[in-house]
Structure 1
Amino acid sequence: MGTGSKAKQLKGFKHSKPGILFGIGGSAFGAFGIVKDVRKAREEGDTLKLVNAAVAALALVTSTALLVRELRRLGDDDILLG
């Protein structure tokens, strides 16, 4: 089994229901970092850091929405659903 087939398997996992759920879980952990950044920016009164955290939060929301949309599109077509 070559490395090419491993990469193909991982790419397939990324587009499966468990892979998408794993991505959403990773986004949830990213939210903790963003909340921490927002608190720190507010404490320091640093507007630029606050804007940076807000942009990161917007990106997180957008990527999570894309993952949820992909999860809905999978429907019954996913072979891993059983």
Structure 2
Amino acid sequence: MSNAMSKAKGFKKSKAGTYLSIGTTAFGALSVVKQVKTARSEGDSLRLVDAVVTAAGIATGIALLLRELKRLGDDDVLLG
């Protein structure tokens, strides 16, 4: 079990794991777009604010993942 856990943690810190995380995070943006459309059509300003805050969180998450991806790329250059 310990070996499986270390493999999972290693994947999370790999380029493939980072790409998967970016994709998963970006997929969440689809629900935010739907939430914005619903909030606008219903005139629900509180739901619209929630969607904007959620979108900011998604953008920040993707930015952090891209930074991690760049760091992983820099490490590969040093190792090669």
Could you say whether these structures have the same fold, taking a TM-score greater than 0.5 normalized by the shorter chain as the test? yes
CA distance in 2, matches of 1:38, 1:74: 34
CA distance in 2, matches of 1:13, 1:34: 28
1:73 counterpart residue number: 71
Letter in 2 for 1:72: K
Structure 1 regions of 5+ residues with no counterpart?
none
Q: How many residues align?
A: 76
CA distance in 1, matches of 2:74, 2:64: 18
TM-score by length of 1: 0.87
Quote the sequence identity (%). Answer: 53
TM-score by length of 2: 0.89
> What's the CA shift string for 1:20-63, capped at 9, x where partnerless?
00011111211110000000000111111001000100000000
CA distance in 1, matches of 2:28, 2:74: 29
1:15 counterpart residue number: 13
For the aligned residue pairs, the C-alpha RMSD in angstroms reads 1.1
Post-superposition, which runs of at least 4 consecutive aligned residues in structure 1 deviate over 3 A? none
